[in-house]
Structure 1
Amino acid sequence: MAESARAATASATARAAATAIAAATASATARAAATAMAAATALAILGLLGACADESKLRESELIQLLALLPGRYDNSEQAASDAGRGARPPHDLIALIIVKVYTPRLGHHLFYAQEMAADDPRRVMSQKMYSFQVDGKRGIVETVYQFVEPLRWRDGQRNTELFTSVVTEDVQAEGCQLLWKKSGERFIATHDPGVCPDAPGAAPQAELGAGVLSIGDYKFRKVR
């Protein structure tokens, strides 16, 4: 009887030990798997963060290029001459466009004043706008176009750019559709934000900018200085 009891006790002890070992092994395996998964997740997150950082740096670099290309004096004299030679009806108006960088802290970091005038009569001003550029993490380079509430107050501001340091949000109204700029080769192409103002399929870009050339709608300008 005593021997049987001892044998039973030994067997139970062995089973308990085996169970404990199995449990410990399973726990260690689970911890190892969890650690490996956490490490993989961390690496994936770091990879995504790195990719996002690289993408952001690329967009910032492209914005700097765009900002360097944009300012200057333009006209569409070549387009107007072509219209006249072809007898196009209606011909494009002959327009001079001046774009100057301005400091307007209440509207953003990268602002320009743009004034369109009749090329043969600069007193005949056709439009006055402000262009604001920024990099958005999801949408890339975003342009907001502003119109003035009182255009006469800012007319010929390209002659005195310090005037624009006083512009506040109440002085302007943002146009309803922002433009998204993307670099394509050596040029930048702007389309409307498809989530807000989708362009028609196959529509021409809203604007295009390259070295010495700028298209806005169907007007094609060349930089004259």
Structure 2
Amino acid sequence: MPDSLFDVPPVPSIPVRRETATYPIGRIFCVGRNYAAHAAEMGVEVDREKPFYFMKSPASAVLTGAETPYPPGTENLHYEMELALAIGAPVFRASPAEAQAAVYAYGCALDMTRRDLQLSERAKQRPWALGKDFDGSAVFAPLTQAADMAPIANQRIHLDVNGERRQDATLAELIWKIDEIVAHLSGFYSLRPGDLIMTGTPAGVGPVVAGDVLTGGIEGLDPIRLTLTDPL
């Protein structure tokens, strides 16, 4: 095999509760508008015929406890607290039962969003990449294996900014459930271990600034924390 022209960063990975090995990140899929109240606060309607997706690159990922600079190019950075799921087996064109069986673990996640860029690009019918995929925009807490927690149902999901509650909902409000998401997405991609799916955020999103501390949680999962520092 020929030598590489330059070194590349190691593959980012996420700790797994009760495991010494970590979960390497392959791809990050994100479900859009998966809570009706959040879609309403953004002034859009939910597509109840099928879910839709955008992606973040693995290079955007950081772990809970990170201190990340306020990102460049935005004056309206938003938080979005989410449930993430980790695929643990190859799955393609899956039934709902096969899709559920392919889920290895769950974890808390933050989808940080340059909202002004997302909305300006959306208004011009352009991709959202600048608004969604940037350094530190995907934050992950340690994963908990699916076998070690209760089935996803009505667990509480919440987020605080500087100790003040901003998001508070339950996973029962997910429009597209876990098996439906994985089954649908597997009709377009051969999903494999390393693939993460962020399942959408409830209502209550809003702006944050340098110096803010974000803390969030989902019942049964390790909590998440992010500190925003001054811009570079």
Shorter-chain TM-score bucket reads under 0.3
Q: TM-score, normalised by structure 2?
A: 0.27
Judging by fraction of residues, say which structure has more helix: 1
Which structure's CA Rg is the greater one? 1
Q: TM-score, normalised by structure 1?
A: 0.28
Higher-RCO chain (CA-CA 8 Å, sequence separation at least 6): 2
